[in-house]
A and B are shown apart, each in its own frame.
Chain A
Amino acid sequence: MAVDNHKLTPVLIGIYLIALPMFTRLPPYVVLLVVAFTIWTLLLIAGRIRQPVSIIRFLLAITVIFSLLVSYGTIFGKEPGTAMLLMLLFLKLFEMKSNRDVLLVIFIGYFLIATHFFHSQSPWIAVYVFVVVIYLTSLLIIFSDRLSSTSFKTRIRISARMVMQSVPLMLVLFVLFPRIPGPLWGIPEDVRTSRTGISDEMSPGSINNLISSSEVAFRVQFKSEPPEARDLYWRGLVLSNYDGKTWKRDDASIQMRPDTSYIAAEAKIVDYTVMLEPHGQKWLYSLETLMANEGPYIVTRELQVITENEIKSVMQYSMTSNINIFNKGLSEEEKRKNLLLPVGINQRTIDLAKQLRRRSGTNVSTYINTVLGYFRTEPFRYTLSPPLLGGDAMDDFIFRSQQGFCEHYSSAFVYLMRAAGVPARVVIGYQGGTFNPVDDYMIVRQSDAHAWTEVWLDDKGWVRIDPTAAVSPDRIDYGIANAGLEKARLPSILVSNSKLLLQLRYTIDSFNHGWNKWIVGFNNAKQKQLFESLGIDDIDMATLFSWMVVAMTLSGALVAFWVFASAGKKDKQDVAVHYYDVFCRKLEKSGLSRAPSESAEEFLERVVQTFPALEQKAGFITRAYQKMRYGGRRGVSDKTYFIQAVKRFHVDKKIKKMQK
């Protein structure tokens, strides 16, 4: 049986619904092909052209593969793979010979729609996928309904019901499906993926660029009293190599373990759980100074927390920090590295350092205060739009522009320290965070990105010094929004005055947080936790699997029972009464109303007397109603047709004219 061309329209819409979230990611060649294929399909549907012969289809397939190769360099991997499937769906529209071909398109559609979760696991995409799945299922109804007797609304209703019936099964699978720690399988990584967030190096402008993003970096739930704003330093990376322009990490220190002697110090403990948004990098953020953590992460000598794989989905981890103490440990090698400066440039800065050092005597602390005082007293300005710096960047900043953002100040401060023989390094991460009053957790956004420094004091260890605080104390105490920066460049949510809007934003964010915590973050550990809370320790995968099968059977049986029970008497009765009532009301508008004591048969007689043209339709409705209402189990199969007939029933003008 050939497929009617006009039936392709809903399929084409389906393919577009599937592709919608992909369009922004598709390369231009592929978009061009999509447009061409769409026009072609529309002509086909309009009957202007016939289906292309096989040689043309073959050439089109070659074109598709070629354009993908040109755009991606490969046809394997997440992006090219999904793009390829999408193109093949379009191509398939040109060879719809039987219903089987349509089914193939729909089933590939189901797969393709699921691939959106590779890119985002947000609740919004989940809702979208849910809706599209309902639409795809309704397509299945079109192609299995030979009489084409169902309307769009009916189809959507039926398919929505079918999808809803599968929800218990979905929940069982979600809770019980054995989770493997780490990614389930390796998907070839794409080069093009880029995500907002701090990168592993710092040059003027690199943090500055993040400030205008209101994107969430991570959310934190404190188990103990949250620290004050000025103590919220979220340590990411330590940068100790400077080449005159860019600060970079010291790879050697990653291999070394931290000096743990600091743990003994007087404690001001903070326990917290971080829900980290995927940033595509291999590190985590922790509150300074980290003391203990759960999970298989590496803590380096510089107290960076490193993961084995890039973080591509929401990740949750718990940590313990002590905000009162400093990291210790400085080997000769480290001391040498943390004093290194590029040779032959920024001579004026080095002279200034020496001059200030001489003025402050032998005490390092005095020297630090002198330098901070220098920043405070000289006309330095904290700004989001600093002027470009020349070749001797540091000289240019300190003596000419004197305008900069945190990366300028931390960079200059470390430079002045090292020039005076004090080991120092740059730390980047986030500073501050806003509390979501709706759900009592802290949101740290990209706009909270910050750079600060650590200076080695022989008697204390690595002491955190934030030179930005010297220039703009408000940045640290009241957050980025209140640091007197240019409002236009800050995210609108931070500077908005509308209470309502703010409340709405917080509510939405709290929903996102819950979603990340319970749905996306439901990992191996959470699953274990769930079973432990039910008193089941140490469940192995085989048991879990057999439980899952049992639960699936049970939930399937439950749904089946519900379906059969509701398809029986009561539902049918309700439908019969409701739609017969609709039928009567339609006639009432034409002046025929049924008396309460009048039976359906008697009413039908009157209807036919008044409108003889309606004999057949009204007769059908009456018979079906009687059958459903009084016929016991009979008439269940007539339900759909009955509803259809009632919905389509109307007394038009022509019939009214023929009225006797």
Chain B
Amino acid sequence: MNTADPNLARASMVLLKQAADSIAQVILGKDEQIRLALTCLVAQGHLLIEDTPGVGKTTLAHTIAQVMGLDFQRIQFTSDLLPADILGAAIYNREQASFEFHQGPIFANFILADEVNRATPKTQSALLEAMEEKQVTVEGETRALPQPFFVIATQNPVHQLGTYPLPESQLDRFLMRIHLGYPDKKAERDLLQGEDRRNLIAGIKPVLDGSKLLMMQKQAAKIHVADALLDYVQAVLEFTRASPMFEFGLSPRGGLALLNAARALALIEGQAYVLPDHIKAVMASVVNHRLEATSDELGDQGKTAAAYICESVPIP
């Protein structure tokens, strides 16, 4: 049985703590979201940040990229963006008299896909396919994307004008969806008083690099999951499928997502095994964008699907 190496696990925890602290210097009062974003990164998943413009989505993504020491590309999605603008294209080279592939911005470790729901579905799916496959096929030739590969997509709330909402099948590709929300009063005051965030980002030193991140991802995958915990995850899946509150239950991929996210969180917390609390902690970000309520009942109670699940499923 391959188990996590305790030394590597401890080193991972320390590094991730440093990374979180660095990010928190820029993104004020959002410790929880920072932690979830890192969890998503360590779990080899992609992150969707959904919120109104101006709450710091782009800044968060940018800061993470900086701290991770990863090769960073930003793609601003607009309604006229084409798949080739993301993936790259073959261009004729007159001197060599041949077509030459010019890599698009997707060939990077860290992609910020800004306002992803403003692009047409065709362009969206080009991105999402690349996310899933970790490779792109252009002109019949398959090219692998660099490792690690991590996408943070931001989107405006779906009801805003000029948006093409991502279909459920594509939302499922994102391991987590988080909301940033407005900062609290103190954080907002600090923000208003402080330096320009963009300047701060430039001043942050990278804590990690690509190889360290890959190592952490491997460690996270080895975090122990007990039978008792699998029982709990299965109980959650079963519950969402049987409950009349939801249109559809969670897919097996949803279950895996829960488990992987919980593993990554356990690593971040320095725990050698996954607890039900880890599952609960990632529940909202992993589950809410995958489930659709049948009625407004939950919303009326002021509860999200995740909260409803957490308080309904007994821990075996």
- A interface residue numbers (CB < 8 A to B): 573, 595-602, 626-627, 629-632, 634
Contacts and interface: CB of A to CB of B under 8 A. Distances in A.
B313 A597 contact: yes
A632 B273 contact: yes
Nearest to A601: B277
Contacts of B313: 597
Contacts of A599: 275-277, 280, 315
Nearest to A602: B277
Given A573-B228, A626-B275, A630-B229, 12 more contacts: A595-B311, A597-B314, A599-B275, A599-B280, A600-B275, A601-B277, A602-B277, A602-B280, A630-B224, A631-B272, A634-B272, A634-B273
Closest 10 pairs between A and B when the two form their complex, measured CB to CB: A596-B314, A630-B226, A599-B276, A601-B277, A632-B224, A631-B273, A599-B277, A630-B273, A629-B228, A597-B314
A319 to B, nearest CB: 65
B180 interface: no
B152 to A, nearest CB: 29
A634 B4 CA distance: 13
B312 interface: yes
B310 interface: yes
A630 B272 CA distance: 10
Interface string B259-275: 00000000000001111
A36 to B, nearest CB: 60
A88 to B, nearest CB: 53
Contacts of B228: 573, 629-630
A631 B311 contact: no
A601 B310 CA distance: 14
Residue of A601, A626, A627, A630 with highest tally of chain B CB at under 10 A? A630
A630 B227 CA distance: 8
Given A596-B315, A598-B315, A634-B272, A629 B226 contact: yes
Contacts, number: 46
Residue of B3, B224, B276, B314 with highest tally of chain A CB at under 10 A? B276
B314 A630 contact: no
Contacts of B229: 630
A573 B275 CA distance: 15
A627 B314 CA distance: 19
A601 B275 contact: yes
Interface string B186-230: 000000000000000000000000000000000000001011110
Contacts of B272: 631, 634
B171 to A, nearest CB: 26
A630 B315 contact: no
A397 to B, nearest CB: 89
Interface string B222-251: 001011110000000000000000000000
Contacts of A634: 272-273
11 contacts: A596-B314, A597-B313, A597-B315, A600-B276, A601-B277, A629-B226, A629-B228, A630-B229, A630-B276, A631-B226, A632-B224
Interface in B294-316: 310-315
A315 to B, nearest CB: 58
A600 B232 CA distance: 13
Interface residues of B, number: 19
A634 B225 CA distance: 12
Contacts of B277: 599, 601-602
A597 B224 CA distance: 22
A630 B280 CA distance: 15
Contacts of A626: 275
Contacts of A627: 273
Contacts of A630: 224, 226, 228-229, 273-276
Contacts of B227: 573
Contacts of A595: 311
B261 to A, nearest CB: 16
B265 to A, nearest CB: 13
A626 B224 CA distance: 13
Nearest to A596: B314
A311 to B, nearest CB: 62
A627 B273 CA distance: 8
Contacts of A601: 275-277
A597 B312 contact: yes
Contacts of A598: 315
Residue of B226, B228, B311 with highest tally of chain A CB at under 10 A? B226
A600 B274 CA distance: 13
Nearest to B274: A630
A317 to B, nearest CB: 61
Contacts of B226: 629-632
A358 B8 CA distance: 120
B310 A631 contact: no
A630 B277 CA distance: 11
A605 B129 CA distance: 43
Nearest to A576: B228
A575 to B, nearest CB: 13
Contacts of A602: 277, 280
B255 to A, nearest CB: 17
Interface string B1-13: 0010000000000
Contacts of A629: 226, 228
A632 B310 CA distance: 24
A598 B272 CA distance: 21
Residue of A596, A597, A626, A634 with highest tally of chain B CB at under 10 A? A597
Nearest to B279: A599
A573 B272 CA distance: 17
B309 to A, nearest CB: 9
A398 to B, nearest CB: 93
A214 B289 CA distance: 87
A152 to B, nearest CB: 32
Contacts of B224: 630-632
A299 B216 CA distance: 91
A660 B227 CA distance: 37
Contacts of B280: 599, 602
A623 to B, nearest CB: 10
Contacts of B315: 596-599
A596 B316 CA distance: 8
Contacts of A597: 310-315
A632 B226 CA distance: 6
Nearest to A630: B226
A597 B311 CA distance: 6
A630 B274 CA distance: 7
Nearest to B3: A632
B3 to A, nearest CB: 8
Nearest to A599: B276
B295 to A, nearest CB: 22
A380 B312 CA distance: 96
Contacts of B274: 630
A631 B313 CA distance: 21
Nearest to A627: B273
Contacts of B311: 595, 597
B12 to A, nearest CB: 18
B305 to A, nearest CB: 14
A602 B311 CA distance: 11
A627 to B, nearest CB: 8
B136 to A, nearest CB: 39
Contacts of B310: 597
A632 B280 CA distance: 20
A595 B228 CA distance: 17
Nearest to B276: A599
A599 B316 CA distance: 10
A494 B164 CA distance: 103
A155 B277 CA distance: 36
Interface in B58-82: none
B267 to A, nearest CB: 15
Nearest to B224: A632
Contacts of B312: 597
Residue of A595, A596, A599, A626 with highest tally of chain B CB at under 10 A? A599
B199 to A, nearest CB: 40
B195 to A, nearest CB: 38
A582 to B, nearest CB: 17
